[in-house]
Amino acid sequence: MKADRIMKKCSALLAAATWALTVHAQEVKKPGHAGNPVFPGWYADPEGLVFGKKYWIFPTFSAPYEQQVFFDAYSSDDLVHWKKHPHVLDSAAVKWAKRAMWAPSVIKKGKQYFFFFGANDIQRNGEPGGIGVAVADKPEGPYRDYLGKPLVDSIVHGAQPIDQYVFHDKDGAYYLIYGGWGHCNIARLKDDFTGFIPFADGTVLREITPEKYVEGPTMFIRNGKYYFMWSEGGWGGPDYCVAYAIADSPAGPFKRIGKILQQDPAIATGAGHHSVIYNAKHDQWLMVYHRRPLGKKGANERETCIDRMEFNEDGTIRPVVMTKEGVRRLQL
């Protein structure tokens, strides 16, 4: 009899646990929604892009620096179903990259795809590493080293050469925007991405650091205005967040407006290092970002998520609401 009672109690507990997990799964993965995270695994610093009729996400593999020697990519037709493309670029193809391969920025030019990345986490000038470029004929690679050396290999204006973003301006110019350690630089790229074109005053790297900037820059144009966005706080802590500014040129000046993405005690912490996708067909803006699940304390326990980004009538950005269900199915 005692054994029967124990078995019944265990069965009841198992049923309750199964019910709780089912409810949680339904809460997180609503029909027709992507769910957050959008794909499994620890990934950070996601760059979201559109190539043709597919969405792409190129993230950092979130792990100890010595293990960060490759990049995976993900593609989707609808934001809900994602296909993994493993090791689209790894250190075997880039002889000078040994560790800490971070923050991809991929751009199509002509018939080729250029993959900008940071490697080695250099701490002082003279150390090997910095921002590199790889190239491939397809977004899923395989990518090969384009320059045989870093494009940016030194600390200029206090900016560690990491967290690169390639911005294509409406006049056809391409800019590299990058920087960690609380400093951000911009430089105009040569047409072949092998170097830089000096600005009119002769400078090559111009500092555009706004108030409270830490790292993770990105930029887009909306209604003729340049939206510059970045991350603040410590990436390993709960207070990591995203702020932004608006200006009339890619070089600013940029005056900080405020935060638009930050931790939510009911959803997740450490929300930041994002990118922006625009679906022109449906006139929808999406923020692709990483966050840390509730209860997780490890710095590298970060997941890639997507939520809606909306604007006020005056062009300012509304605070982004983090969700568990994520965005609705949305084709291009």
Active-site positions? 45, 215
Give yes or no for a contact between 224 and 316, defined as CB atoms under 8 angstroms apart: no
Give the list of residues 6+ apart from residue 267 with CB closer than 8 angstroms, or none.
291, 294, 322, 323, 324
